[in-house]
Structure 1
Amino acid sequence: MELRHLRYFVAVAEELNFRRAAERLNVTRPALSKQIKDLETEIGVKLLDRDTVRVALTDAGKVFLADSRAILDDVEHAVARSREAQDGRRGQIRIGSVGQIAASFLPDALRAFRVNFPDVEVTFVEMTPPEQLEALAKDEIDLGFAYGRDTEKVPGMSSLLLVRSTFGVSMSKDHPFATRRALRLEELHDQSMLCVGDEKASTHRRDILSMFEEAGTAPASVRQILGFESLLTMIAADQGLSMLPEVLDLRSSHGIVTVPLLADRARADFTMWAVWKTAGASLLVRNFVRLLERNRPADSMAVA
């Protein structure tokens, strides 16, 4: 049985006239009659009582008509939904979660996306930025976020610059340095520095140690903290200092002060990017990236 058999039967059942049904379907009357006979033979049920004068539905035909209409409606609905998905108006987009740093652009982008694409489900997946690059490569997420200037050079990935800032020294509001207007790296040699992420794949750790090395000094110790919110909790609890972008306002939300760093701005530069696979990027991803671009801070620049 094929869908055309159902369409042909529904037309005959609604018209109760083979000639009118054939005209409606744009087929010949003999061809239509043969299709109906083939259908009845295949399912082993008589659907129509017909003679040279009249056509009527059998009791079985009435039941089959209702179910045939439901099936054809479901098919039409499935086709419409698939076309909406192809056009980027339906489906699911999986995004790597990036935490507090995204507060300046992500909420507005999400609101705009919801308004423009209400039938698309947005799902956030908790993982660190290095994990997000791996997850993108394995198609475990559709869009991720990454830090550092090298992000725009990742093979097979496209990127959009979302945040450009400068690293400052972040600490508890009760730390003795919290009232300073600026700090030099040399003044931090006896401090414990907190870095987010795994020690082997932490861009944050690499950037912090690189800044100290170029300044010809080193912190007293370096501790790895898994998870950005955990990092903020440790800083607020005065368990160490860290380097965070000055664009973050953490005083009211976490009791953390970020003091400007007296260092070469190029060395202390912080960038964050949205990242997605270049090959096969869906319209869902491209639509979301377009809204990210509209809602990012004005001083950011796109890089394809």
Structure 2
Amino acid sequence: MELRHLRYFVAVADELNFRKAAERLNVTRPALSKQIKDLEEETGLHLLERDTVSVALTDAGSVFLAEARAILSDVEQAVALAREAQDGRRGELRIGSAGQIAASFLPEALRAFRGTFPDVEVVFVEMNPPEQLEALAKNEIQLGFAYGRDTENVPGMSSLLLVRSTFGVSMSKDHPLATRRSVRLEDLIKQTVLCVGDEKHSTHRRDILAMFSESGLSPQATRQIVGFESLLTMIAADQGISFLPEIMDLRSTHGIVTIPLLSERAKVDFTMWAVWKAEGTSLLVRNFVRLLERNRPVVPPMAGVA
């Protein structure tokens, strides 16, 4: 049994006339009669009483008609919903967590997306940026966030630059250096430097140590902190200093000040990217990326780049 059998039967039941039903379906009357006969033979049901003058539904035909209408309605709705999903207007968009750095633009992008695509459910999945690249490759999420210039060239991924900011020195507002207008790396070698991420994935630690190394210096101690909120808690508790983007305002929310770093040799730019799989990008992702691009902060050029 195929859907056309149901459509043909419903048309005959509506018209109670084979000629009119055939005209409505744009088929010949003999072809329609054959389809109804095939339907009855396949189901083993006597659905219509018919003679040369009239057509009437049997009891079985009346029950079958109600169910056929329901099936055709369900199929029509399924096609409509699938078309909405194909067009990026319905479905689920799984996104990796963005962290506090995205607070200046992500909520507005989400509001705009929700207003335009109310039938798309956005689900945030908690994971660190390096884990998000792995999750994207495994199709566990559809869009993620990553840090560092290397993100622009990850094989098989497309990316959009969202934030660029110079690293400053972040410390508790009660730290002895907190009243300075700027600091040099030489002022920090006796400080405990806090780095976010685990040993395997920490681009933050790598960038900080490279910055010291390029200046011929080395911090007295470093400490690895898993989780950005934990890092902020440790800085606010004056358990060490760290290097965070100057664009972040943490004084009012965490009691942390970020002071410009003076360095003739080393200065690291912080970059944040939206990342998604380059191949087979869905309209859901494309639509969300467009709104991210529209709502991202103004991005200044890289240091030393015209």
TM-score (norm 1): 0.95
Deviates more, 1:188-197 or 1:214-223: 214-223
Aligned-partner residue type, residue 126 of structure 2: E
Secondary structure in structure 1 of the residue aligned to 2:27: coil
- Given that residues 17 and 55 in structure 1 are in contact (C-alpha distance below 8 angstroms), is that contact kept between their aligned partners in structure 2? yes
Backbone CA RMSD of aligned residues: 1.5
What residue in structure 2 maps to residue 273 of structure 1?
273
Across the two proteins, how many residue pairs are aligned to each other? 301
Aligned-partner residue type, residue 126 of structure 1: E
Q: Give matches, 1:190-229, under 5 Å.
A: 190-229=190-229
Q: CA deviation at 1:268?
A: 2.0
Aligned-partner residue type, residue 268 of structure 2: A
What residue in structure 2 maps to residue 292 of structure 1?
292
What residue in structure 1 maps to residue 234 of structure 2?
234
- Given that residues 166 and 270 in structure 2 are in contact (C-alpha distance below 8 angstroms), is that contact kept between their aligned partners in structure 1? yes
Flag the 1:36–1:265 CA change in 2: closer, same or farther, 3 A. farther
Aligned-partner residue type, residue 46 of structure 2: K
Distance 2:122 2:238 in 1: 36
Gaps in structure 2 of 5+ consecutive residues = 302-306
- Given that residues 215 and 265 in structure 2 are in contact (C-alpha distance below 8 angstroms), is that contact kept between their aligned partners in structure 1? no
Q: CA deviation at 1:220?
A: 2.0
Distance 2:87 2:52 in 1: 49
Secondary structure in structure 2 of the residue aligned to 1:281: coil
Distance 2:266 2:97 in 1: 27
Flag the 1:9–1:266 CA change in 2: closer, same or farther, 3 A. farther
Distance 1:70 1:101 in 2: 50
Aligned-partner residue type, residue 65 of structure 2: L
Distance 1:140 1:113 in 2: 21
Secondary structure in structure 1 of the residue aligned to 2:62: helix
Aligned-partner residue type, residue 52 of structure 2: T
Q: CA deviation at 1:265?
A: 8.7
Secondary structure in structure 2 of the residue aligned to 1:190: coil
What residue in structure 2 maps to residue 159 of structure 1?
159
What residue in structure 2 maps to residue 23 of structure 1?
23
- Given that residues 186 and 215 in structure 1 are in contact (C-alpha distance below 8 angstroms), is that contact kept between their aligned partners in structure 2? no
Flag the 1:264–1:185 CA change in 2: closer, same or farther, 3 A. same
Aligned-partner residue type, residue 231 of structure 2: L
Q: CA deviation at 1:106?
A: 0.8
Flag the 1:265–1:299 CA change in 2: closer, same or farther, 3 A. farther
What residue in structure 2 maps to residue 254 of structure 1?
254
- Given that residues 161 and 300 in structure 1 are in contact (C-alpha distance below 8 angstroms), is that contact kept between their aligned partners in structure 2? no
Flag the 1:186–1:297 CA change in 2: closer, same or farther, 3 A. same
Q: CA deviation at 1:264?
A: 4.6
- Given that residues 167 and 270 in structure 1 are in contact (C-alpha distance below 8 angstroms), is that contact kept between their aligned partners in structure 2? yes
Deviates more, 1:266-275 or 1:140-149: 266-275
Secondary structure in structure 2 of the residue aligned to 1:177: coil
Q: Which runs of 4+ in 1 moved over 3 A?
A: none
Distance 2:33 2:128 in 1: 65
Q: CA deviation at 1:300?
A: 5.4
Q: Alpha-carbon deviations, 1:110-135, whole Å to 9, x = none?
A: 11111111111111111111111111
- Given that residues 162 and 300 in structure 1 are in contact (C-alpha distance below 8 angstroms), is that contact kept between their aligned partners in structure 2? no
Distance 1:89 1:126 in 2: 25
What residue in structure 2 maps to residue 186 of structure 1?
186
- Given that residues 167 and 267 in structure 2 are in contact (C-alpha distance below 8 angstroms), is that contact kept between their aligned partners in structure 1? no
Distance 2:209 2:130 in 1: 18
Q: Alpha-carbon deviations, 1:183-236, whole Å to 9, x = none?
A: 111111111111111112111110111111112222221111111112112211
What residue in structure 1 maps to residue 104 of structure 2?
104
Distance 1:281 1:167 in 2: 33
Secondary structure in structure 1 of the residue aligned to 2:262: coil
- Given that residues 167 and 269 in structure 1 are in contact (C-alpha distance below 8 angstroms), is that contact kept between their aligned partners in structure 2? yes
TM-score (norm 2): 0.94
